Amino acid sequence: MNKRNMLKGLLGLTLAVGAGMAHAAYPERPITMIVPWGAGGGTDATARMIATLLEKELDNPVNVVNRTGGNGVVGHMAISKAKPDGYTLGMLTVEIATMKHLGLTTITTADYTPLALMNEDPAGVTVSATSEYKDMKGLMEDIKANPGKLKASGTGQGGIWHIAIAGLVNNAGLPANSVPFVPSNGSAPAMLELAAGGIDIVPTSLPEARSMIDAGKAKPLAIMSKERSPMYPDVPTLKETIGSDWTVGVWRGIAGPKGLPDDVTAKLDAALKKVNESKEFRDFMSKRGFGVAYASGKEYGDYMAKSTADFGEVLKAIGMAK
Mean pLDDT (the chain, rounded) = 92
Mean pLDDT of 62-69: 96
Q: Which of 215, 242, 269 corresponds to the end of one domain?
A: 242
With a pLDDT cut of 70, the percent of the chain lying above it is 93
Q: Are residues 79 and 132 in the same domain?
A: no
- Domains contained in the chain, number: 2
**Alpha carbons 101 and 136: distance in angstroms, whole number:** 29
Q: Are residues 65 and 90 in the same domain?
A: yes
Instruction: State the residue range of the domain holding 172.
Output: 124-242
pLDDT of the residue at 16: 47
Q: Are residues 109 and 160 in the same domain?
A: no
Where would I find the beta strands (DSSP E) of 100-217? Answer: 112-122, 124-128, 152-153, 181-182
Q: What is the CATH number of the domain that holds 257?
A: 3.40.190.150
Mean pLDDT of 81-104: 96
The DSSP element (H or E) to which 47 belongs, if any, is: helix 42-58
CA distances from 249 to 22, 50, 94, 162, 163 (A): 41, 20, 8, 11, 9
Q: Using CB atoms within 10 A of its CB, is residue 222 exposed (0-12), middle (13-18) or buried (19+)? A: buried
pLDDT-based confidence at 313, cuts 50/70/90? very high
pLDDT of the residue at 19: 46
Q: How many residues does the chain have?
A: 322
pLDDT of the residue at 236: 97
* SS3 at position 237: strand
Mean pLDDT of 225-239: 94
pLDDT of the residue at 17: 46
Radius of gyration of the chain (CA): 23
For 129, list phi and psi in degrees, rounded to 5. Answer: -60, -25
Q: Are residues 191 and 256 in the same domain?
A: no
pTM of the model: 0.84
| CB burial readout 191-221, b (16+ within 10 A) else e | bebbbeeebbbbbbbbbbbbebbeeebbbbb
pLDDT-based confidence at 185, cuts 50/70/90? confident
pLDDT of the residue at 164: 96
pLDDT of the residue at 94: 95
Mean pLDDT of 268-292: 95
Q: What is the CATH number of the domain that holds 207?
A: 3.40.190.10
Residue 17 is assigned to a structural domain of this protein: no
**DSSP string computed for 286-303:** HHHTPPEEEEEHHHHHHH
Which range, of 3-12, 118-127, 234-243, averages the lowest pLDDT? Answer: 3-12
Q: Are residues 112 and 129 in the same domain?
A: no
**Alpha carbons 181 and 178: distance in angstroms, whole number:** 9
**Alpha carbons 212 and 232: distance in angstroms, whole number:** 13
pLDDT value at 102 more than 50: yes
Q: Are residues 97 and 154 in the same domain?
A: no
pLDDT of the residue at 133: 97
pLDDT of the residue at 22: 43
pLDDT of the residue at 20: 46
Q: Which of 242, 276, 298 corresponds to the end of one domain?
A: 242
* SS3 at position 111: helix
Q: Which of 242, 276, 310 corresponds to the end of one domain?
A: 242
Contact 63, 32 (CB under 8 A): yes
Mean pLDDT of 69-86: 96
pLDDT value at 76 more than 70: yes
pLDDT value at 5 more than 90: no
pLDDT value at 2 more than 90: no
The DSSP element (H or E) to which 281 belongs, if any, is: helix 279-288
Residue 10 is assigned to a structural domain of this protein: no
Which range, of 18-32, 63-77, 80-94, averages the lowest pLDDT? Answer: 18-32
Contact 311, 170 (CB under 8 A): no
pLDDT of the residue at 21: 44
